[in-house]
A and B are shown apart, each in its own frame.
Chain A
């Protein structure tokens, strides 16, 4: 099956080049059909690769440069079920985004299709590659396509700020990654991840640690981890909705995947003796990200920005899952990525539907305007349930796996973070649902507090009252149904665990890539975890979210007049809002200090405290 390996990258790139080359001469509908077919083809191949790689990971050497005597010079794709599964998931969401955009844009050039396909190819390559520099190149290709898509249609209207902030902060992150890669190359003389892992062995001097700090901080800029997260909300506020689906659904999660891949292929050896130190740093980052994102999410009224902050919060949960540095945590992260991606994509599609209808995604301007869109409202509400981690959504499956792994490692408090993040992000969605689809709550006339009024007229004119096209509603419905279906597929969890254990087995990965030999199969031991704890947590979070949303829509909510019970909260909340200035200089200051603090605390923990 080896010859299939490069196709999920090659096919979309080729079609993208053709579409870009014949830009004006290709009719829009031809470009639409061609893009949909390409995405389906790439997705089918990725699925095939996933199935094939279950028995043994697929290693594909470009140009036939296979390693001799365990020394790799060529560039390889090293495909395991999680990598191929992520690629297939990328294709699914791109398919949803293309379907949604069929009727969404009033006019769209084929450049849009070409950029989306380039984005798709880069993300697939990123998932499949086994080469560290290749990972960086696909990461940059992904970024470049994302910047251009974020600024797509920008000449028609308002805000370049979001796209510029996105491009600048993420480019700095990419340079951090490149510097880290250069340091690893200077130490090992290798760029193949398996080769670097084998050469490093268990060396854990300051340079290796610092190289990993640069690599994971660089990737975490894209993953929007606190304190690197500021760009994400700005980018989502200005990016066209189909692009937001991909940003929130897969792009930021892929950055988490990249760090996990680098850790398990290269750094598991050097950090074997320092796992508590790395765990401590990563768990802190994840917790802060989850809480900051959740609080900011509840404070938003611009729906796309609200969903963007919710993404930040849920990425924090993913970071916590990865930070457990155990195969079970990795399994949970993979399950949660799929569940969250499906739900979040559906939520963004609903936001796009509102924008298509009314030309606004501001909660206060949309008060009761979508009362007639009953089923769209149901989808939106179900999305909220998914964010809270309600069974049977796939998010529940993921959260349960992560919690089980965390409790086994003595990190029971993770459950509290999951409760808080799920509750606040779901409450924000329920509040919007009650406000927009049911017309509950006070009707406000003023502009949104904190965030300035953001014009959205450049994507679509709005005012389309003649019903919602099926190409918009059906993808949202299917995504939500799929999120439920993934959560109830029997034995899925067992398959995912095998995949997680395969990815987390450095020795067999290295042997498979460099020597072409297979050392044993991943046979994870039976796990013992009860569903009761997670079930209670998710039901509690959903209940609390509903109560909070009802409270926010009631007259008791402190609107303009001060209520005594709101005073102690005001200071911290306003301080938190105040640091989201929208100014690129401030973002880069946070980024610089963030990297310095992370690097120093990790060095301190390892060198001084000897953890």
Chain B
């Protein structure tokens, strides 16, 4: 397996974190969090991938033919469900912040300090 997909996963994680750190909007932060999460998708799929293997559906192929790992794909599906929930929650919180304060900028929502 080439090292390239792992580098992509690491890059997505880091660039997503950078986006969150430097962000001026909670909507943007929710999207950056989705980028961080895509890193886990890439990582999971890479781990399960095998060169020259088919999809893990065994209806029409002889038993014993190579297939990619279906477990990581199931993990990734779970991961997507988690992400959908979290992004929806974050965005709804951002909407409430906009309604109450008229801003989604973390710099302007500072009420809790020290």
Q: How far is the CA of A191 from the CA of B48 in the complex (A)?
A: 13
A interface, over-half SS: helix
Q: How far is the CA of A171 from the CA of B85 in the complex (A)?
A: 11
Q: Is B8 an interface residue (CB 8 A)?
A: no
Looking at the assembled complex, report how far the CB atom of B27 sits from the nearest CB atom of chain A, in whole angstroms.
11
Task: Assess the A299–B96 pair: CB atoms within 8 A.
Answer: no
Q: Is B65 an interface residue (CB 8 A)?
A: no
Question: Interface residue tally of chain A, by bracket?
Answer: 35 or more
Measured between beta carbons, the chain B residues less than 8 angstroms from A140 are 82
Hey, which bits of chain B sit against chain A, CB under 8 A?
13, 17, 20-23, 26, 29, 33, 36-37, 39-40, 43-44, 47, 71-72, 75, 78-79, 82, 85-86, 89-90, 92-94, 96-97, 99-101, 106-107, 109-114
Q: How far is the CA of A234 from the CA of B40 in the complex (A)?
A: 28
Q: Is A105 an interface residue (CB 8 A)?
A: no
Q: In the complex, which of the residues B43, B97, B113 contacts A164, with contact meaning CB atoms closer than 8 Å?
A: B97
9 more A-B residue pairs beyond the given contacts A175-B13, A454-B111, with a C-beta to C-beta distance below 8 A: A158-B111, A161-B112, A164-B97, A175-B37, A182-B44, A233-B112, A452-B111, A581-B113, A584-B106
Q: Which A-chain residue is minimally distant from B99 (CB atoms)?
A: A155
Q: How far is the CA of A148 from the CA of B78 in the complex (A)?
A: 19
**What 0/1 readout, one digit per residue, does chain A (135-160) give for beta carbons within 8 Å of chain B?**
00100100010011001001101111
**What 0/1 readout, one digit per residue, does chain A (318-344) give for beta carbons within 8 Å of chain B?**
000000000000000000000000000
The 9 nearest A-B residue pairs measured at CB: A450-B114, A160-B97, A577-B114, A186-B47, A582-B112, A161-B109, A234-B112, A585-B21, A582-B113
Measured between beta carbons, the chain B residues less than 8 angstroms from A182 are 40, 43-44, 47, 72, 75
Task: Assess the B78–A588 pair: CB atoms within 8 A.
Answer: no
With A175-B39, A588-B21 as contacts: A164 and B111 at CB distance below 8 Å = no
Q: How far is the CA of A237 from the CA of B39 in the complex (A)?
A: 32
Measured between beta carbons, the chain B residues less than 8 angstroms from A589 are 21
Task: Assess the B100–A158 pair: CB atoms within 8 A.
Answer: yes
Q: Which A-chain residue is minimally distant from B86 (CB atoms)?
A: A171
Task: Assess the A585–B86 pair: CB atoms within 8 A.
Answer: no
Q: How far is the CA of A578 from the CA of B110 in the complex (A)?
A: 13
With A164-B94, A175-B36, A191-B71 as contacts: A583 and B111 at CB distance below 8 Å = no
Looking at the assembled complex, report how far the CB atom of B72 sits from the nearest CB atom of chain A, in whole angstroms.
7
Q: Which A-chain residue is minimally distant from B89 (CB atoms)?
A: A147
Looking at the assembled complex, report how far the CB atom of A126 sits from the nearest CB atom of chain B, in whole angstroms.
15
Looking at the assembled complex, report how far the CB atom of B7 sits from the nearest CB atom of chain A, in whole angstroms.
14
Pairs across A and B, CB under 8 Å, 7 listed: A161-B109, A164-B90, A164-B97, A451-B114, A452-B111, A584-B23, A585-B21
